Each structure stands twice: as structure tokens, then as C-alpha cells.
Structure 1
Amino acid sequence: MKKMFQRVTILSIAAMGFFFLSPMEIAFAAQDNNYENTIQLIAHRGSSGHAPENTIAAYDLGFEQKADYIEIDIQMTKDGELVSIHDTTIDRTTDGTGSVGDYTLEELRNLDAGSWFDQSFAGEKIPTFEEILDRYRGKIGILIELKSPGLYPGVEQKVANTLIERNMDKPNNHKIVVQSFNHDSVKRFHDLLPSMPVGVLVGYGQADEGKITDEHLEEYAEYADYVNPNKELLDQDTVDRIHQNELKTWPYTVVDQEWVDQLMEYGVDGIITDYPELMDFR
């Protein structure tokens, strides 16, 4: 049975040692106190409509635009280090070619991950998982996608260990969610850290003729806290059934105001978007 994601309130902070928290952590927890009443804004690969995806520049901008979470894609290098990059190859978003897993961390860090987007971002680096956690912990939530985990045996354990080393495996301390299209990988991670909230990403290939069925939802509810589908797989009935199974839903990837309005009408719990400013009205 899954353990539901518990949220920190100001009163519980006091009980656990309020005066030992930094001002940033106190403010972060106070913001999180209103979580259940606020639709969550997730900056997809950072503010990737305005900066090169999965770079510190994009994550910083997502933070500046007051996103509740940044979404990051995690893969593993040839020498077993965790890095944030979306594609399993480096061709599209760097000045290199080949597969992520064929490069060491040092080799990947020597690549330019910004110029492809705009020359003003020349020199941006592929960030490490540790760098991201250390930079944003206590400042913004982090939605971690395990990208193509079948290519990287043991990646779930490495992600879990990295969180444990930083005392970030306690959901009351940090807003961390782990998700993947590979649902077996999500289950493995859940078994490692059962108190950490996890989500299943759902694309057309995982739906039944374009529909997320009751059978799907009953299965997901056994271990997951979130069902995060392609936005076009949602309608009012599907959102209602997700909630009836005590799950939340953060659909992806929204790039226009029309979809924001439609999804809010459905009553989704969060929206994953390349353009955080679409939700400035919150």
C-alpha cells in the first residue's frame, strides 16, 4: 500500500524545531501550507520556452517565475553519474553527438548545452543531479523524471541514495516527486523509498484507444500518488475518476492559454508547462 504524500504546515514546523530552519526554508514551508488549495505550476525542463531546457538557466528562470516545481530529466553517464538531459542522445541540445551513456561526466560537462537555443546561452552546461538538488533544495519543488531507465540498470537506487545522502528522502522536508513513463521503474523506486511520492507518466501508448481506464487507475493507485498524462488524454470524466482513486494529476505539456483554461475547468491538480507565465493569474 502506498504512503500518501504528507505536507508540512507551519504548526508542524514549530513542533519539529521551527527555530532551526533557515528563513528560506520557513518561507518555502509556509507557501507549501496552501498546497491543497492551489493548482501547482510545474516548469517543464525549467522555463524551457525561454531558456535551453534542462540547464541551470532554465531552472533559475522557472524559480524566478514562481513555479512550484521544476521538472528535470535524469539519465546516467558512462561512469555512473546522474545528469539532467532529456534525449538519450546529445545531438539535439549540445554541440556533441552520440548517446548520453557513452560519455563520462567530464566529457559531457565539456559540451555546450546552450548555444543550440540561443547564442546568449553559449557555455551552459549539462547539470548534474547533485548540483540541481544542492542549488534548489528548500527553494522550489523538484519533479524528477527517470528518463529511459531501462538503459541504466540501478538508476533508481542511485537516485534514492542521492536523496538519502542529503536527507531529502523525507517528504515532509522537501517537495520531491519521482515519475517515469516506465512504470516498472516507478514501482522499483517506490519499493526503495515508499514514503516518497511517485507518479506515472501516461502517453498514448499506455492508454487504451485514447482512454485511461478504470483498470489502469486501480493499478496505479496501488503504488502511485500521481497520474501525469498527455493533456489530450484528459477530459472531465477522466479527471473525476483519477480523483475518485485518490490520485492527483499533473498533465503535460501545456504551451497555450486555451489549454490552461480547459485543464483548470477539469479540476487538475497541476499543470506542466514550458511557459510558467501562462499561470501568472494564480
Structure 2
Amino acid sequence: MKKIITGALTTMLAFSLIVQPSGNAFAKNYNDTLTIAHRGASGYAPENTMAAFEKAVDMKSDVFELDVQLSQDGELVVIHDTSVDRTTNGSGKVKDHTLAELRDLDAGSWFGEAFTGERIPTLGEVLDEYRGKSGILIEIKSPSLYPEIEQKVADELKERNMHKPNNNKIIVQSFDHDSVQTFHNILPSVPVGVLVYNPADLTDQSLEDFSRYAEYVNPSKGLVDKDLVKSIHDYDMDIHPWTARDHESVEALEEAGVDGIITDYPDYVE
């Protein structure tokens, strides 16, 4: 995030308990680690469903992450894979199904019988239900398949007055860095993050480029060490690695000094 440090050290320390960084979408103490529930609390409920988001909130997550794509009829739907095969009782590509067809699918029974009947939600439904209750990290999935998806996400946020970071807790991210820049140009008031899995995207030059528009660099956890965290902080950005699925990974990331941890198990983050 864009951290503004002014005045003498004593002044900074005196204000640190009450002043938040100006670009921060989440109020937290500097030494806290944000808990970010990956696709909701997906270790405990079927990913990207209302059940998973509700579980994340119940478990006191600071933020939950979700994935958005477009239905055949242009509606923003919350699902990770570009096909429905793995997480529903249907088959085929998300983009080849209308919203009504997607809503007819069972998105819960694959995870457990108790979740039979869970549906694929729309982004609007999630925003309406959890605005003010949780931070929401929106990942734009495979934007090359969905022309103008960035504008549609922006429109959903503006419709609900959720594009003002002082009022709501929203971040938008993607592995497609061109898509991140496109969204930033449409709605510069909403913080954005770049997802990274390639070490080549973590050079000083890459970080400098990211810092021109992004507040977050969110790499695969295997790429993270204290030096990387320092480098990202030096460019005035925060780091939320993904995806921690065991206590050892969480502890290592906390030790490295990351700002948030994206995890299937929110209760693993202290």
C-alpha cells in the first residue's frame, strides 16, 4: 500500500495507533497479519459458495477471496475453474452456460453431503450479503475469455457505492497484469493486486512497474522470503502470498513478515 511517513520518529510512533496508511483498504495494526480466506473458508466448505464465505466470516477472517467469470449471457458468476466439471454436477465451460443454467447446478455435494444444494452465486449476491461484514478480494479469472469483464466488475462496485476504499474493503487482483491495469484505469479508487507465480515477475524492474498502479504483489508462497517482503515493501506495496494449507506454511510466511496470508484454513493464521 502507499505508506506515507512524515515527521520525526517520535511523532510517527505517537500516531501509529490511530493513523492508518492512506491507501489501505483494511484497518489493521502494522504488525498484524491479515487472514484472507481462499475462495472462502474452502478447507471447511465448498469453495466459492455462500457457505464458504459465511464460514470465513464466522471464523473471523479479515477478508475472503473469490473468483469471477462471465456466464454466456454476460452475468458475473463466482467460480474458479473455467469449466464447471470439478465443483458442480454439470459439465462444460462456464462461458457456454447461461446464468439460469449455472444456477441450476449443485455446487456443494462434491465437497460433502451437508452442502448439497449449494449454488454458484453471482458477484452481486456476494457483495450485497457481505458488504460491511468482511473485506472481499476479487480475482478476475481468465479475462482473455471475457472481453470487458473489468468494466462489469467496476459497474457492480459502483452500483453499490463500494468503489470508495474509505467506506468498504475491496481489492481486485488477477494473474493477467494487463487486466489489472485495465481495471485500475477504469476505477483507480479501488486498490489492485498482481498475482505472481513466476520468479521473473519479482525483479526490481517488475516491482517498479507494478508499483505504478498496484498496491499489492501476491506471489505463490514458495517464492516468499524476508528479502522479497522487504523488496515489495521498499516499493510501497504489500504482499499477500497464496495458498497456505498447513501450519508450517503459515508460520514461515508470518516469520517472513508478510502483510496477509491467503489460506484455505483461516483458523491457522494467528
Flag whether TM exceeds 0.5 (same fold).
Answer: yes
Equivalent residue for 2:187? 193
Determine if contact 1:141/1:175 at 8 Å carries over to the other structure: yes
Deviations 1:238-274 (A, max 9, x none): 1110100001000000011111111111110000000
Alignment of structure 1 residues 38-57 onto 2, 5 Å: 38-57=32-51
Which amino acid counterpart does residue 33 of structure 2 have in structure 1? I
Equivalent residue for 1:258? 248
Query: Of residues 49, 54, 58 in structure 2, which corresponds to 1:60?
Result: 54
Determine if contact 1:46/1:61 at 8 Å carries over to the other structure: yes
Deviations 1:116-173 (A, max 9, x none): 1111110000000000000000000000000001100000000001100100000101
Determine if contact 1:170/1:196 at 8 Å carries over to the other structure: yes
Deviation at residue 37 of structure 1 after TM alignment = 3.9
Between the aligned partners of 2:124 and 2:260, the Cα distance in structure 1 is 25
Equivalent residue for 1:117? 111
Which amino acid counterpart does residue 250 of structure 2 have in structure 1? V
Which amino acid counterpart does residue 164 of structure 2 have in structure 1? K
Determine if contact 1:203/1:229 at 8 Å carries over to the other structure: yes
Equivalent residue for 2:234? 244
Work out the percentage of aligned pairs sharing the same amino acid.
Answer: 56
Which amino acid counterpart does residue 128 of structure 2 have in structure 1? D
Equivalent residue for 1:22? none
Between the aligned partners of 1:183 and 1:227, the Cα distance in structure 2 is 11
Name structure 2 gaps, 5 residues minimum.
5-16, 20-25
Alignment pair present for 1:182 and 2:137: no
Deviation at residue 33 of structure 1 after TM alignment = 3.9
Determine if contact 2:2/2:236 at 8 Å carries over to the other structure: no
Call closer, same or farther: CA 1:191–1:133 in 2, change over 3 Å. same
Which amino acid counterpart does residue 266 of structure 1 have in structure 2? A
Equivalent residue for 2:8? none
Deviation at residue 5 of structure 1 after TM alignment = 8.8
Determine if contact 2:3/2:236 at 8 Å carries over to the other structure: no
Determine if contact 2:196/2:217 at 8 Å carries over to the other structure: yes
Give the CA RMSD over aligned residues: 1.9
Determine if contact 1:217/1:245 at 8 Å carries over to the other structure: yes
Between the aligned partners of 1:163 and 1:202, the Cα distance in structure 2 is 25
Q: Which of 36-45 and 145-154 deviates more? A: 36-45
Equivalent residue for 2:266? 276
Between the aligned partners of 2:230 and 2:203, the Cα distance in structure 1 is 12
Determine if contact 1:4/1:195 at 8 Å carries over to the other structure: no
TM-score, L = length of structure 1: 0.86
Equivalent residue for 2:22? none
Alignment of structure 1 residues 8-157 onto 2, 5 Å: 33-157=27-151
- Structure (1/2) with the larger helix percentage: 1
Query: Of residues 145, 167, 181 in structure 2, which corresponds to 1:173?
Result: 167
Which amino acid counterpart does residue 130 of structure 1 have in structure 2? G
Deviation at residue 213 of structure 1 after TM alignment = 0.9
TM-score, L = length of structure 2: 0.90
Q: How many residues align?
A: 253
Deviation at residue 87 of structure 1 after TM alignment = 0.1
Determine if contact 2:35/2:63 at 8 Å carries over to the other structure: yes
Alignment pair present for 1:215 and 2:205: yes
Secondary structure of the 2:30 match is helix
Secondary structure of the 1:94 match is coil
Determine if contact 1:212/1:233 at 8 Å carries over to the other structure: no
Name structure 1 gaps, 5 residues minimum.
13-31
Determine if contact 1:71/1:144 at 8 Å carries over to the other structure: yes
Deviations 1:76-123 (A, max 9, x none): 000000000000000000000000000000000000000111111100
